[in-house]
Amino acid sequence: MSPYERLLNEWKKENLQTADDLAGKLDSFRVLFAYHSGKIENENVTYHDTRDIFENGKIIDYTGDIRTLFEIQNQKEAHRFILESYEERRAIDEEFIKQLHAILMKGCYDEHRWNQGERPGEYKLHDYVTGIREIGCPPEYVSEEMEELIEDIQEAVPPEKAVIGGAYLHAKFENIHPFADGNGRVGRTLMNYYFLLQGHPPVIIYEEDRKKYYAALEEFDEELKLDQMIGFLKSEAIKTHSRYLEKPLVIADIEKCGYRATDSLIKNMRKLREICGTDCTLKDVETWKCNGFPEKAGEYAERVIEELRDQEREEGLKNSYKPDEPRYEEDEWEPER
């Protein structure tokens, strides 16, 4: 069984039925997806700004382009929209796509497009050019092209076939380029909603992989082939959900120490990983308790400590997990290796 097939099997086991189920599973995904999707279009998007807006709803001492903040906030609102739509199993149609675009591009159209009569949530009225190439089909044919695309992807397919439908939906949508701006952001979010409806895990297209991404889109534009896009999406899916395919250090560490790897414990340990930029062990957390928690990590480290103590009380664990004491020999000592 390939890593991709294993991923589909593990995702199926999650049996995500409600918006709450999905929200819990995509808690870390939502920030990373918003960051990478935004970064592909706007170099000013940063991970820290994205996380602050998603988690705190604000950024302190920001001095950059205000449009960047609108873009990030809109990604947050779009995630809520996707959760609500998933709860209803809302079908993909023109109204859905226009509503998604209106959310993602609110306050983000530049003066030129606005003066041309373009509006978020409405198909483009004019042709637009990037470099020397025109983008997409002429405005007068957009609605017809979109109707055909939507009809093409309506049929339900098994998860193992969904990557083909998702690749086609995304490549064809970008080929049409139905809006005056924001087509990339909408296309990536739309593809993931399609994946969710088909029981396929959503995918992050990482900004560092944009050359492969653009090459896959270009192959469809020029040859109407999806080979590169299908292979690329499978690769990005594995990269996105690697925790399903290789047991994370944090889970192995929790179980090794005799504790239960509960969802809340794993979630807080993963938050610490995001903040610190590396996998954190229980020994790290206990050491921080003795020496003072790192800035920004304290809240999550305290939650971990509290749950460990709760488990000890509930299950009567006799051996708390504590850092080894340094061994002193006369005036010299070395840490254990």
Q: Which residues are annotated as catalytic? A: 177
* C-alpha to C-alpha distances, 143 to 16, 66, 152, 191, nearest whole angstrom: 33, 32, 14, 19
Residues contributing to the annotated binding site for ATP: 181-188, 213-214
| 8 Å CB contact between 327 and 292 | no
Q: Scanning the structure block, which residue is given the tokens 């590169």?
A: 228
| 8 Å CB contact between 307 and 262 | yes
- Of 177, 207, 166, 180, which is closest to residue 37 (Cα–Cα)? 207
Residues contributing to the annotated binding site: 181-188, 213-214
Phi first, then psi, for residue 115 (nearest 5°) are -70, -20
Both structure tokens of 15: 């049996």
Establish how many alpha carbons lie within 13 A of residue 252's alpha carbon, considering only the half-sphere containing its beta carbon: 6
Strands (E), the chain: 129-130, 133-134, 328-329, 332-333
Both structure tokens of 99: 């509503």
DSSP 199: T
Q: How many CB atoms lie within 10 A of CB 229?
A: 23
